[in-house]
Amino acid sequence: MGLWSERQRQFQFFLATPVELRTKDCKTEEQFAKRFDLKPETLAMWKLLPGWWDEVYSVALSIIGAALPDILETLVVRARSGHVTAIKLALQALGVFTEKSENKQVFDNDQLTLILDKSDASTDELQAALARKKTIAGEEE
């Protein structure tokens, strides 16, 4: 027998299933407990067991994986209709588009002076920091 009992596996599947996809008579934990003749306290204890939520997450991924073809079809339909975000997402999924981000650091002279004053860096390190500051500011030596 595995780590989890059959009832525990059923409850994990229940937790991993989106509410909209659960059966009409078993949408809440209370309904699940009543249906399987379990105490709500038992369900609460199970949720505290080591590895419990890892297993629920694994089941949720398998549920999502089963829906992936439908999700991709919807994405393609939206992309073909010209929806820019869908086009971008489809290209990212295919690995032919990567968003680039640019980070720029700007120091004014007061900030640089403060950094240098509080630094116990060597003269070479301080000169390198000053050179970087000039490069960032677009100055030439």
Tens of pLDDT along 55-100? 999 999 999 898 889 999 999 999 999 999 999 998 998 889 888 7
Rounded to whole angstroms, the Cα distance separating 105 from 42 reads: 55
pLDDT for residue 119? 55
Quote the tokens at residue 103.
């980070």
Smallest CA-to-CA distance from 30 within 39, 20, 21 is with 39
User: Per-residue confidence at 141, pLDDT binned at 50, 70, 90?
Assistant: very low
Task: Name which residue leads in pLDDT, 99 or 134.
Answer: 99
Query: What's the predicted TM-score (pTM) here?
Result: 0.57
135-138 long-range contacts, Cβ below 8 Å, gap at least 24?
136/104, 136/105, 136/106, 136/107, 137/106, 137/107
Rounded to whole angstroms, the Cα distance separating 76 from 20 reads: 24
Rounded mean pLDDT of the chain?
85
pLDDT for residue 101? 73
Rounded to whole angstroms, the Cα distance separating 82 from 5 reads: 49
Smallest CA-to-CA distance from 15 within 41, 42, 39, 47 is with 47
**Position 17 pLDDT exceeds 90:** yes
The domain ranges of the chain are: 6-94, 102-141
pLDDT for residue 82? 94
pLDDT for residue 93? 86
pLDDT for residue 102? 74
Task: Name which residue leads in pLDDT, 21 or 119.
Answer: 21
CATH class of 6-94: mainly alpha
Task: Name which residue leads in pLDDT, 22 or 108.
Answer: 22
Rounded to whole angstroms, the Cα distance separating 92 from 137 reads: 34
